[in-house]
Amino acid sequence: MKLRVVFAGTPEFSVPCLEACRASGAEVVAVYTQPDRPAGRGRKLTPSPVKQAALAAGIAVEQPESLKSEEARATLAAYAPDLMVVVAYGLILPRKVLAIPRLGCWNVHASLLPRWRGAAPIQRAILAGDDESGVDLMQMEAGLDTGPVLLERRTPISGEDTGGSLHDRLSALGADALAEGLSRVLSGETLLPRAQPEDGVIYAHKLDKAEARLDFRRPAIELERQVRAFDPWPVAEGDVAGEMLRIWAARAIEGNGAPGSVLGMSREGIDIACGEGALRVTALQRSGGKRITAADYFNAIKTRGA
């Protein structure tokens, strides 16, 4: 069968899913993405990663500010999509939009639903100490990530995972699940939806930069997870011996002392007392500087006394 697909996505996370659509044999007739936004030091208007990939592939691009108007719905309907695939698009799809494609709208979501519905499921899973994450291919409904699940992929969360590493792995898993779903539909199969459980619903609220500040009164293991979850954004930060540093890598260790006090400093790391245990900072960034190891910081302190 033929399948006309409209793809909607914006960040780098979405690009592998767009490529999976193109490779599936379906016809990607249009790509919807967020309007160009200012980026970089010059605040120059910059197209999203999905827009760049679509233009490189010669696919028509639409960038409405909203999908609520009749004009926006008419534009979408004119593409006559059989299916709309939504991956981290960034706009709410009104009920009338969900009804336009013949097969409705699919969403690739980076969590094991119903846990971590919402905007920041990857970082929230690490912050909470979850030992597993994954992606769900979901049939979209009007509610926020409430639709039935069509396919699922799972992956363990290791003690070394950061927001960045888990992001990349889930992006690839999402593309894999989407590729399977499209292949099965193209072969004439109807995917059987599985309703989400009513128990276990947790919302992954959008990240706030203010959350990056480390509170050394908390247990060290929680701060370790905070450092990992906020790499590469917004990056944890903390007051270390009177200097505000961005903390790129750290691990919980044993130690006792007044929360926030420096227990020791060496080439191995900076040990900071916490409410429970201590946090060993191993990679950091000084104001106006670049990311360095604790050894480089220790050497700078010794040689410059600063």
- Is the pLDDT confidence value at 306 over 70? no
Query: pLDDT per residue over 63-92, tens digit each?
Result: 999 999 999 999 999 999 999 999 999 999
Query: pLDDT per residue over 182-208, tens digit each?
Result: 999 999 999 999 999 999 999 999 999
Find the angle CA(215)-CA(220)-CA(222) to the nearest 5 degrees: 75
Find the angle CA(283)-CA(285)-CA(287) to the nearest 5 degrees: 165
Scanning the structure block, which residue is given the tokens 């590729």?
179
Summarize the chain as % helix, strand, coil (round to 5). 30, 30, 40
Give yes or no for a contact between 139 and 148, defined as CB atoms under 8 angstroms apart: yes
Q: Which two tokens stand for residue 206?
A: 């959008």
| 112 is known to lie in a ligand binding site | yes
Task: Please give the distance of CA 64 from its chain centroid, rounded to a whole number.
Answer: 22
pTM of the shown model:
0.95
Task: Set out the domains of the chain in order of their start, with CATH numbers.
Answer: 4-204 (3.40.50.170), 209-304 (3.10.25.10)
CA distance 4 to 275: 56
| 182 is known to lie in a ligand binding site | no
Instruction: Write down the pLDDT at residue 304.
Output: 62
Counting DSSP H helices and E strands in the chain, the numbers are 8, 17
Residue 263: Cβ-neighbour burial (10 angstroms; 0-12, 13-18, 19+): middle
| Cα dihedral across residues 292, 297, 300, 306: positive or negative | positive
| pLDDT class of 233 with cuts at 50, 70, 90 | very high
* Coil vs helix vs strand at 75: helix
